[in-house]
Amino acid sequence: MKKIAVIGQGYVGLPLAIAFSKHFPVVGYDINEKRIEELEQGKDSTKEVEGEQLKTALSEYKISEGVKGYFPSADLDSLTQADIYIITVPTPINEFNAPDLTPLKQASKLIASVLKKGDIVIYESTVYPGCTEEECIPVIEQYSQLKLNEDFFAGYSPERINPGDKINTLETIVKVTSGSTPEVAVKIDNLYKKIIKAGTHLAPSLKVAEAAKVIENAQRDVNISFVNELALIFDRIGIDTHEVLEAAGTKFNFLKFKPGLVGGHCISVDPYYLAHKAIQLGYYPDVILSGRRVNDEIPLFIANKVVKLMIQKRIDVSRSRVLLLGFSFKENCPDTRNTKVAKIYKELSSYGIEVDVYDPWVNPVEVKEEYGIEIITEIDRLKQHRYLRTDHRYGLTASPYSGVLLMTAHQEFKNLDIRSLVNEPGIVFDAKSVLKKGIADDRL
C-alpha cells in the first residue's frame, strides 16, 4: 500500500490530500501549526473542502488504521513512512517581480531529510520550465545524498485549482502529469488517474508540463490586459466598454473576456515566472510584460476614476468616507493573496479619504497582519460604522459614505441595497460590472 505525503495544506494541498485519502493513507503536512490544529478539528478556513468531507477523511484514517484516510501533521517524523511526496507550496514573486523560490527550496530540503531509495517526489507548485530539474532536484540531491533516477524519482503535475469554484474542481479538471523517466511517468499518471474523473494528459517531459501550466495563466493575463486597455481607451472616448464588447461579441469567433482587477496567486504572478526564464535566455517577452503593466494600472485607474466622479458631484474628497465592498481577490472565496483591492484602498487613502472595507468572507486577523487594513466582516458592524461611529471631523455622528465601490461580487452583495449606503450626492462604482443599470454611476 502506497503512503502519500502532501507538503502544504492550503488551497491546493488540502483538496489533493483529501482526494487521495479515499484510496491511500495520506499525511497532510504543513509548517503552520495553527493550520494543522484547525484541520484536526475538521475545519477548513479556505472553504475548499466541506467540513463533513474533512471529518470523514479524518475518521477513516483512524478506523482503517492507516490503510486510507487523512492525517494532518506539523511533525516531520510523520513523513518518514511515505513513499510518495507531493509538494504544493506557494511560489510567489518578490518586490522586484522576480520568482521567489524560497518556499519551494525549503520544501525540497525538508523532503531530502526523510527521502529513501525508491521514493517519488512530485511537484505541483507553478514554476518556469526547467525549474524542477535546475533548482529543486539539486537541493534534494545535496541534502539527501541520493541521485535522481538512480535512488529516487521525480514528477511534475501542475495544480489547476480554481479557488471558490464548486463546479470546476480538482476531480473534474484534466490533470497534466510527467515523470523523470518514462517508467515513473506512467506510474505518476496512473496515480492521478485514481482521483481525476476528467482524465489525465501525460506530457513527454517535466519541462513541457511546467510550460503548459505557466502559459495557461499567462494567456489569460494577456487576454484580460487587452480588454483592460480597451477600458482605458474607451473611458477617454466616453463610451461604455461593456456595450462595445457586447456588440463585438456578436461575431462567432470573438473571445469574450471582460475588464477587471487581476489579482490572486496565479494569473497576476505566473507570467513573471515565464518572463524570468525568457530573459535568462536572452529574450525579452514584450507581449507578456506589456500585459502585466496594463493590468497593474487598473487599481490606480479605478481609484482615480472614483475621485473624479466625486469631484464632478462637488463632493469634498478630503472630508469624505468611502466603502469598499469586498477585499478577497475573487468572489465567494476568502483568498486575499495579492488582492488588488489593497492598492485601491491605499490610493484612495492618499487623497485623504477615510476608507472602510466590508467583506464577510475574509479573515480580518490575517488581513490586518498582511495588509494593515481593518476589515468589517458583519453587516451589523457595517451599519454601525455608517451611522454611529464617532468622527472628530464631523462631531459625534459620522457622515454617511460619499462613495461605495463594489470590488468583489460576493453572493452576499446581490441582495444588498448598495445605493442606500450612499449619502446623496454620492457615487457608486461597479468594478465587477454586475450591478443592474441605474444603480452605479459608472463601471469598469
The answer to whether the beta carbons of residues 164 and 335 sit under 8 Å apart is: yes
* Residue 425: cis peptide before it, omega within 30 degrees of 0: yes
Cβ distance 13 to 6 under 8 Å? yes
Rounded Cα distance between 127 and 113, Å, is 23
CA 415 to chain centre: 26
CA distance 301 to 9: 36
Give CA–CA dist 292/181, Å, rounded. Answer: 36
Could you tell me the three cell numbers for 438? 441605474
**Which residues are known catalytic residues?**
266
Gap between the Cα atoms of 161 and 29, Å rounded: 19
